Each structure stands twice: as structure tokens, then as C-alpha cells.
């Protein structure tokens, strides 16, 4: 008598946590993927997502710092030259801001 093995049950496909992964993924998309890991209790990609969120946070802090320094430079340029030559003060302030927002070059 030949012993038959039971057919294997088809494995339930879980949605890939990295489906649609791309370099320009938004922070909210990474957080949604982290929520999926909790729902499915599949924490295999959790460390990579934590690193990705850390990278995004570092970039945001760096951008805020650059913006703050550009604003300080513009403020200083306005205050130093406002009494002597207002046009020069505005021009220097615009130059300080152009480093952070190059689109301002068209307006000067």
C-alpha cells in the first residue's frame, strides 16, 4: 500500500512591506509600513524602516537649520543697512535668502 502525503496548504500571501519601495518615499509611507508590520506581526524589516525614519529626521533638521541661518543672515543684512541705504539692505537680504531658495533670484 502506497502512503499518500497530504497536499500542502497554499501559503497565504502577505503584502510586501517594501512594495513600491523607492528612494523618494515619504515619511508617512514608512510609518504606514511600520503599522503593517505590527498588524501582521512580521518585524523582519523593522530595523530598516527605523533607519529610514532616522535619515528623514536628520534631513528635516538639516533643512530647518539652513533655513534658520539664511533668515538670520537676511535679518542682519536688513538691520545693518536699513538707515544708510534701504535698497542695499533689501538686496543683501535677498542675496542671503537666495542661498536657501534659489527661486528668489528671479524676483530681485
Q: Which tens digits make up the pLDDT trace of 6-64?
A: 666 555 554 454 554 556 678 899 999 999 999 999 888 899 999 999 999 999 999 88
The pLDDT of residue 41 is 92
69: its cell numbers: 541661518
pLDDT of residue 54: 93
In the chain, the number of structural domains is 1
33 belongs to a structural domain: yes
Query: Residue 93's domain spans which residues?
Result: 27-106
Backbone phi, then psi, for 55, in 5-degree steps? -65, -45
Cell reading at 65: 537649520
Residue 32 lies in a domain: yes
In this predicted structure, what is the pLDDT of residue 40? 92
In a domain, 50, yes or no: yes
Q: Which residue has the higher pLDDT, 73 or 83?
A: 73
Model confidence, pTM:
0.57
Closest CA to 59 of 67, 71, 47: 67
Residue 5 included in any domain: no
**Angstrom distance (rounded) from CA 31 to CA 94:** 38
Whether 76 is covered by a domain: the verdict is: yes
Mean pLDDT across 55-83: 84
91 pLDDT above the threshold of 60: yes
Amino acid at each position: 500500500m502506497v502512503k499518500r502525503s497530504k497536499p500542502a496548504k497554499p501559503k497565504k500571501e502577505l503584502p510586501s512591506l517594501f512594495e513600491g519601495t523607492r528612494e523618494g518615499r515619504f515619511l508617512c509611507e514608512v510609518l504606514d509600513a511600520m503599522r503593517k508590520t505590527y498588524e501582521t506581526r512580521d518585524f523582519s524589516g523593522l530595523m530598516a524602516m527605523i533607519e529610514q525614519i532616522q535619515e528623514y529626521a536628520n534631513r528635516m533638521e538639516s533643512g530647518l537649520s539652513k533655513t534658520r541661518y539664511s533668515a538670520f543672515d537676511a535679518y542682519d543684512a536688513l538691520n545693518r543697512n536699513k538707515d544708510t541705504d534701504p535698497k542695499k539692505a533689501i538686496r543683501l537680504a535677498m542675496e542671503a535668502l537666495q542661498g536657501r531658495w534659489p527661486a528668489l533670484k528671479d524676483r530681485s
